[in-house]
Structure 1
Amino acid sequence: MTCTLILMRHAKSDWNLATLNDHDRPLNARGREGATAMGHWLRAQGHLPDAALVSSATRTVETFDRLGFDVPATITRDLYLQDSHAMLDLLRKATAPTVLMLGHNPGIAEMAWQLCAKRPAHLRFADYPTCATLVVRFDVDGWNDIGWHKGQPMDFATPSDVI
């Protein structure tokens, strides 16, 4: 079996709403445009998730909605500002062959760095900007068998690459 992870950081959020706490911040106009564009890019590349794991923060849920994938989604606070180890623990419980995981930095960037056997040659991979998306494949029997530095990167893009 092959397991494929689509690892995405939420799109650009709106910092102009000072009264909202961090968890409740929505996307700004640029973020909405970027999330929609990344959904189109993923489809054009043939990267279609079977299921999604999404942080419960407003900006990650909005990002997921704008991607336009009609797949079962687990919206969970367990991905909100988590480190890569907590994120990996959650991913190992997945059952679908292709999973979209949508969360936050620094955890998303840490996870991307640690999952790839070889890092993509993209200039923005190191800082993993908003809505950056890595597609990484594992030749394993199931998600419980994935580990650090075992994934083969298939694609990496940011909204500025596709808009």
Structure 2
Amino acid sequence: MKILTLLRHAKSSWDDPVARDFDRPLNPRGRRAARTVGREICRQGLIYDLVLASPARRVIETLAEVSEACPMPAPTFDKRIYLASTATLIDIVKETADSVERLLLVGHNPGLESLAMAMAAADGGALRLELEQKYPTGTLAEIRFDIEHWAEVDEGIGTLVRFIRPRDLDPELGPDEDSF
């Protein structure tokens, strides 16, 4: 079995005058949401063999806040994850070494939402319905695959087993007004 966890970066700041989208930082609510999700990761006993992440500032800051609440392996940054298409994200997942059982992929929308929708079986019940509504900032989705090799990952064969939004853990952290 292989487990893919997708974590969308927490809420970023549009008030910070940065020259590039890549350099946008988290806002205070995003930092709080990331720490809250990090505590929930620990509470549920989730562990990861490998963390792959976009090198964008808001992802780096999200991981720093999550890791402060729940220590995890140091991330491997991959520029391909920044604003990646679903096809690129699938390629990255398929390239993962088979020694990795639990992969955490940290990045951006619309790619992560599209990847979760593509990988999780369409008849996934209540969690799938929540995913279809919206994949807010700071949200974690866990998809399990009954496969031995990451190269076998394919659309529609996974089971969505977790969908954790910051607002589910702390009502003051939602709803998310935008998709950034």
> Does TM-score exceed 0.5, indicating one fold?
yes
For residues 9 and 154 of structure 1, do their structure 2 counterparts lie closer, same or farther at Cα, with a shift above 3 Å needed? same
2:80 maps to 1:78: yes
- In structure 2, the residue corresponding to 1:125 is in which secondary structure? helix
Which amino acid is 1:13 matched to?
Answer: S
2:133 maps to 1:129: no
Distance 1:119 1:128 in 2: 16
**Structure 1 residue 149: deviation in Å?**
0.5
Equivalent residue, structure 1, for 2:148: 141
For residues 7 and 120 of structure 1, do their structure 2 counterparts lie closer, same or farther at Cα, with a shift above 3 Å needed? farther
Report 1:145-156 matches (<5 A).
Answer: 145-156=152-163
2:83 maps to 1:67: no
**Structure 1 residue 18: deviation in Å?**
2.5
**Native 8 Å contact 2:34 2:62 kept in 1:** yes
Equivalent residue, structure 2, for 1:98: 102
Distance 1:61 1:92 in 2: 23
Equivalent residue, structure 2, for 1:13: 12
**Structure 1 residue 124: deviation in Å?**
4.5
Which structure has more strand as a fraction of its residues?
Answer: 1
Which structure has more helix as a fraction of its residues?
Answer: 2
Distance 2:15 2:124 in 1: 35
**What is the count of residue pairs matched by the alignment?**
162
Q: Identity of aligned pairs, percent?
A: 33
Distance 2:19 2:124 in 1: 36
Deviations, residues 35-54 of structure 1 (Å, cap 9, x unaligned)? 11111111212221111110
Equivalent residue, structure 2, for 1:53: 52
Moved >3 Å (runs of 4+): none
Distance 1:107 1:120 in 2: 22
Deviations, residues 54-95 of structure 1 (Å, cap 9, x unaligned)? 001000111112111331421111100011110010111112
